[in-house]
Amino acid sequence: MAVGWGSTAGGRAVVVAAVLIGLGAGGCGTPPRGSVSEANSELTGVHPCDPAALGATAPGPFRDYVGVTFSCARLSVPLDHAGLRAAPQQPGQLSLQVAMADNTTAPRGVLMWLVGGPGEPGVGLTAVITHQFDPAVLRDYRLVMISSRGTGTGALQCPQLQQVMGDSDQTVPPPSAVQECAQSIGPDRRFYTTADTIADLETLRQALRVGTLTLDGASYGTFVAERYAITHPDRVSRLVLDSVVPHDTFDPLAIAAFNRTAQVLRMVCAETRCSTDPAQDLSEEIGARHDGPQLLTILSGLTGGAPRLTGMVAALHEAARGDYTALDTIIATETRDQAISAEQLSQGLHAATVCEDFSWPWGDADAPVPGRAGATAKAVAALPDAAVFPYDRATAAGAGTVVTCELWPQTPVVAFPTGADLPPVSTLLLAGDHDLITPLAWTQHEAAHAPRGHLVVIPGSGHITQNKGNGPAARTAVTEFLTGP
């Protein structure tokens, strides 16, 4: 389950769809010419994809419902991209998996979708993503998927952290698990940031020989799409940003999710005509059991994909009155069977990327570890009571991501320019009004930095509005946006 970065629990089938992190790349008017192997030597071993590698469950060759087949290849990228850091370039190469639709002359160029968490491989979700798009999109664009560095067959391995976290973002790990993970990855952990992923995408764009990219990003993938667009403004033609993580990480403690929890719970109550105040009930339950980080995780997960909050409203009301039976049943159900392999979701990659990418109360990952917890405590103490309701200050200070990154070793980071806006390209921003993973305020914040942005809020939708479980409205908006003038 995630608060802001893209992974969710609450049914493994929902997980796959809900965590999808999209990044599209398309060169409108500049379709690729010739075979991929001829285009650039960085893409090697081009061959028809094994359907199982694309996540297809049906036997036989994979062919989506408009007849597009896929070829797979490897993209060779430097471990340390030249010019990205001031320090001398470190040697080494990484080999990333890529899946490419075979309609190489698609009139609008390449559409690339990234999955993440961060931590998930993209190629294995090709079948799911393909069937989320309208046939018109798949005819107009060449869909390309990439498994980013540190994921899939090249997953960063952190056995103890993997066992503790499973498919969760916000489980609070023991210090030993975080320390074991960082030591296992070693100094190379500095090479698994979004800046490195952006450089990999630029290498892939060059290998595909397209001039511009159309980016469709969701959850953490919006962060990748936004920062790619800001870094390479002349190489992006359109942006779709679904369930947004703002490019400037203006809300590092995810306080916006706290207030949105109260609003969404009350919306669900009104929709079901309940006579209680579930936000107040949640506040009272946390006051009694001091389990805010756990309930933050559970509630967020219940909005991954189609929201499943109705039963939670009644359970919270009973819990506020001392009967925890229904609430504990929900908690047990949501946390059951959350084990997941690093090849499916690398918690090592997740920790390295999140801790080194974002700004925190203590600054960034290059700040000394001893002062971080104190900086968090000071920032949380300065918040007004209304900012943390219906949770409490202990929840804000003790959420899993905050705890993980407080413990992450001091690591040099790649600076990103402050005060940047998205380039003036057509941008569709989508938000689900029941999403507690990436709250509406985050998408609204990014919309204010999109000169040609159009914000669409999808009623009743949870995280990743393009997920089929959230109904057709967002997918219709995406189709019209991507296939329109």
According to DSSP, the β-strands at 70-78 and 43-48 are antiparallel
Helix, strand, coil share (%) of the chain residues, nearest 5: 45, 15, 40
pLDDT of residue 59: 67
pLDDT of residue 114: 78
Q: With the CA atoms of 36, 39, 41 and 44 taken in that order, what torsion angle do they form, in degrees rounded to the nearest 10?
A: 0
According to DSSP, the β-strands at 142-146 and 93-101 are antiparallel
The CATH code of the domain that includes 471 is 3.40.50.1820
Whole-number percent of the chain with pLDDT over 70: 90
Evaluate whether residue 72 is within a structural domain. Answer: yes
Cis peptide leading into 390, omega within 30 of 0? yes
Tokens of 437: 């993973």
pLDDT of residue 382: 96
3-class DSSP assignment, residue 429: strand
| Gap between the Cα atoms of 346 and 395, Å rounded | 25
Residue numbers of the domain that contains 469: 12-148+194-247+423-483
* 100: exposed, middle or buried (Cβ count in 10 Å: 0-12, 13-18, 19+): buried
Q: Please write the tens of the pLDDT for every residue from 336-389.
A: 877 899 999 999 999 999 999 999 999 999 999 999 999 999 999 999 999 999
pLDDT of residue 358: 93
Q: Please write the tens of the pLDDT for every residue from 10-55.
A: 333 333 333 333 333 333 333 333 333 333 447 999 999 999 999 9
Evaluate whether residue 160 is within a structural domain. Answer: no
Q: Closest by alpha carbon to 128, among 113, 148, 150, 106?
A: 113
3-class DSSP assignment, residue 352: helix
As a whole number of angstroms, the longest Cα–Cα distance in the chain is 69
Bridge partner list, 456: 430
Evaluate whether residue 273 is within a structural domain. Answer: no
How much is the pTM? 0.90
pLDDT of residue 422: 97
Evaluate whether residue 227 is within a structural domain. Answer: yes
Backbone angles phi, psi at 126, to 5 degrees: -60, -45
CA 281-285-289 angle, 5° bins: 175
Q: With the CA atoms of 437, 254, 155 and 224 taken in that order, what torsion angle do they form, in degrees rounded to the nearest 10?
A: 80
Q: Mean pLDDT, to the nearest integer, of 79-93?
A: 93
Evaluate whether residue 180 is within a structural domain. Answer: no
* 356: exposed, middle or buried (Cβ count in 10 Å: 0-12, 13-18, 19+): buried
| Gap between the Cα atoms of 261 and 282, Å rounded | 10
Q: Mean pLDDT, to the nearest integer, of 419-437?
A: 96
Alpha helices in 141-231 (DSSP H): 159-165, 175-185, 194-208, 220-231
| Gap between the Cα atoms of 348 and 213, Å rounded | 29
Residue in the block written with tokens 């000169």: 451
pLDDT of residue 12: 31
For residue 277, give the H/E element and its range: none
Going by pLDDT thresholds of 50, 70 and 90, the confidence category of residue 116 is: low
Evaluate whether residue 184 is within a structural domain. Answer: no
Half-sphere exposure of 42 (CA within 13 A, CB side): 18
The listed range with the strongest mean pLDDT (59-73, 155-169, 466-480) is 466-480
Q: Please write the tens of the pLDDT for every residue from 408-421.
A: 999 999 999 888 99
| Gap between the Cα atoms of 361 and 378, Å rounded | 8
Residue type, 99: A
Domains identified in the chain, total number: 1
Residue 372 CA from chain centroid, whole number = 25
| Gap between the Cα atoms of 129 and 132, Å rounded | 5
pLDDT of residue 167: 83
Going by pLDDT thresholds of 50, 70 and 90, the confidence category of residue 61 is: low
Q: Please write the tens of the pLDDT for every residue from 205-218.
A: 999 999 999 999 98
For residue 78, give the H/E element and its range: strand 70-78
Tell me the torsion sign for CA atoms 189, 195, 201, 204.
negative
Evaluate whether residue 395 is within a structural domain. Answer: no
| Gap between the Cα atoms of 306 and 304, Å rounded | 6
What string of DSSP letters covers 310-326? Answer: HHHHHHHHHHHTT--HH
